[in-house]
Chains A and B, each alone.
Chain A
Amino acid sequence: MHEYTVTENVLRIALEKAGEAEASRVTQINLVVGDLSGAVPECIQFYFDSFSKNTIAEGAVLHFDRVQAQLRCRSCSTPFQPENGIWDCPACHSQGIEVVGGRDLYIESMEIE
């Protein structure tokens, strides 16, 4: 739901980097979005198409690399992914878990001309 701010920042960072590289066009932006970041790629794309109009990033392809939620059991250290909102360890059924991955929200790279 907070994709408005996310997308504004994506465009700002992309235009800054393109400026530094003296690019005339941004053709692709590669983003890494974790399942626990709360950001929805389709929604970022929707805002991006609108915000990027009349900039050198207009028409750029947004490529999303999704990162799944990664959890680890605090008792037996088993790594696992939550399924259907169940966060119990599948090995020892402990509820003591830590989030080790899936909160990512960053621009990995971009393609420019």
Chain B
Amino acid sequence: MKKIEVVQDILEANESIARGNKQLLDQHKVFAVNIMSAPGSGKTSLILKIMAQLKGKLKTAVIEGDIASTVDAEKVQEQADAVVQINTRHMPESCALIAAMVDQALKSLPLEELDLVLIENVGNLVCPSEFALGEHMRLVISSLPEGHDKPLKYPMIFADAHAVVVNKMDLLPYVDFDLGAFRRSVEGMNPGVTIFQTSCKTDEGIEEFSSWLLQQVKAGN
């Protein structure tokens, strides 16, 4: 019997593919956003709203990650300049997108014509936070019915986010969501984060968020 030292990060292979994705995006001056949330927080709805706001200003593609079905891809088809659907059900990992899947998706996109790629991750607040995809921005959406304690239950995804969108603000009168407590716990663990409040129903905050995103894309590209 012999003991050998290894000391190797288990997910280094993913990190390495993610770095390759980022290089490819940078070569083409394409800004990528990794959009993460629990199922039903409004990822697809927000993507539709953002694209409506950015129409004519940016060429945008969407990468849709889902365990099964193409319903989200069909919804965004009309608005987006290009859409790729990734169904993770038959892939080695089904609970999150991993860099290798995004690598495949990027190969089928006309990168030279694009400015922005919105990557809709699989609905999940745990696994997506462990897999870099090559994105320039990590955006987490949290909606009012989920409760203000989610940052404490799933801290890493909030601690690593560049921006957090609190969605479904129109439901504020009907749910016990303490906005102050939510903001304090997110800002506590992540002082550099920018937090937005939106409603895809009433359009509250949509313009503000979209203009901020536009600025980030222009600064990044």
Which residues of A come within 8 Å of B, CB atoms?
1-2, 4-6, 8-10, 12-14, 17, 21, 23, 27, 31, 36-39, 74, 82, 85-87, 94-99, 103, 105-113
Interface of A is mostly: mixed
B1–A113 CB distance below 8 A: yes
Chain B, 103-160, CB within 8 A of any chain A CB: 124, 126-127, 129-131, 149, 152-153, 155-156, 159
A99–B189 CB distance below 8 A: yes
Instruction: Assign chain B's interface to a size class.
Output: 35 or more
Residues of B within 8 A of A74 (CB): 191
Residues of B within 8 A of A111 (CB): 1-4
A38–B126 CB distance below 8 A: yes
Residues of B within 8 A of A23 (CB): 2
Residues of A within 8 A of B11 (CB): 5-6, 9, 105
A37–B130 CB distance below 8 A: yes
B189–A87 CB distance below 8 A: yes
Measured CB to CB, the closest approach of chain B to A11, in angstroms, equals 10
Residues of A within 8 A of B191 (CB): 74, 96
Contact of A87 among B7, B8, B124, B152 (CB under 8 A): B152
